[in-house]
């Protein structure tokens, strides 16, 4: 009886060990699956972030190129406006000069007319 109880105890203990081993293996497999799921999920998010960063870098590069073109065009417009402004100033100077010449010519004309009248009166 004692030996049969011991045998039964050893069999139950072996069965429990086997059940525990099975559960341990299932727990390890579940842990591995969960770890792989987390790694895959994180890799997916990291991959998406990497792709988005590449897109952002490409757009920044394009924006820098467009900005450079815009700056060059703006500088050309500024130069054209400065040239136009200078030309307008020169026209203003020419107009002022021509008015001054006209005024001087009127004075000379009036003076000559006065001289001519005085000579006619003297004769």
Q: Look at residue 68 in the predicted model and tell me its pLDDT.
A: 96
pLDDT at res. 60: 97
pLDDT of residue 119: 85
- Interatomic CA distance for residues 83 and 77, integer angstroms: 10
At residue 22, the pLDDT reads 94
Taking 50 as the pLDDT cut, the residues of the chain under it are: none
Tokens of 121: 């009166």
Query: What is the 3-state composition of the chain as percent helix, strand, coil, each rounded to the nearest 5?
Result: 100, 0, 0
DSSP states along 56-87: HHHHHHHHHHHHHHHHHHHHHHHHHHHHHHHH
Question: pLDDT at position 25, please?
Answer: 94
């Amino acid at each position: 009886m004692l030996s049969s109880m011991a045998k039964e105890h050893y069999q139950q203990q072996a069965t429990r060990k086997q059940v525990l081993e099975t559960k341990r293996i299932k727990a390890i497999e579940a842990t591995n699956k969960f770890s792989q799921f987390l790694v895959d999920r994180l890799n997916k998010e990291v991959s998406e972030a990497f792709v988005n960063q590449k897109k952002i870098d490409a757009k920044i590069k394009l924006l820098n190129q467009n900005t450079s073109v815009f700056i060059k065009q703006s500088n050309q417009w500024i130069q054209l406006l400065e040239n136009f402004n200078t030309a307008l100033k020169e026209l203003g100077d020419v107009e002022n000069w021509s008015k001054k010449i006209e005024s001087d010519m009127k004075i000379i004309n009036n003076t000559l007319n006065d001289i001519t009248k005085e000579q006619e009166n003297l004769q």
